[in-house]
Amino acid sequence: MKEAERIARQLKAAFEGDAWHGPSVLETLQGVTAERALTRPLAKAHSIWEIVLHISSWQKAVRMRVEGNEVETPEDGNWPEVKDKSPQAWENALQNLKESYRKLLALIQKLPDSDLDKNPPGSDNSNYIQLHGVIQHDLYHAGQIAILKKVKP
């Protein structure tokens, strides 16, 4: 098996499920309503909705880096603001999250292993590090979402 295939498997497990560690990103988001996603049960913590926007932004930024673009921070910002707080906007945020994941997964699945050791423009970290980093980032925030779901608003 090629290394890029292994990375794609890790991303898929972390995001969709069947991960060794426990619930994936999508599994932690099951049953979260727009109202719940907006709550801030811990005063200095981000809301679930903010975390979803943050994950999407960084998945897109890493994808753009691996595609050869110089990206320091996501074009939407590190922590995009929740502007529209409607249930439809929450559904859109979830769909955008899934779409950013699908695009990143598709990129990894067609990435030649020879590109893994290359550094994106302006970065000191290789594509290999970028891709593993975004998987770790997704899992870190899945853990935050799981905790926020347990705290009473």
Do 126 and 86 meet the contact criterion of CB atoms below 8 Å apart?
no
**pLDDT band at residue 148 under the 50/70/90 scheme:** very high
Asked if pLDDT for residue 152 goes beyond 90, the answer is no
pLDDT score at 32: 98
Closest-CA residue to 148 (of 79, 19, 55, 51): 51
> What CATH class is the domain 3-150?
mainly alpha
| Structural domain spans, the chain | 3-150
pLDDT score at 21: 84
pLDDT score at 104: 98
pLDDT score at 22: 87
Structure pTM? Answer: 0.95
What integer is the mean pLDDT of 83-111? Answer: 98
Asked if pLDDT for residue 18 goes beyond 80, the answer is yes
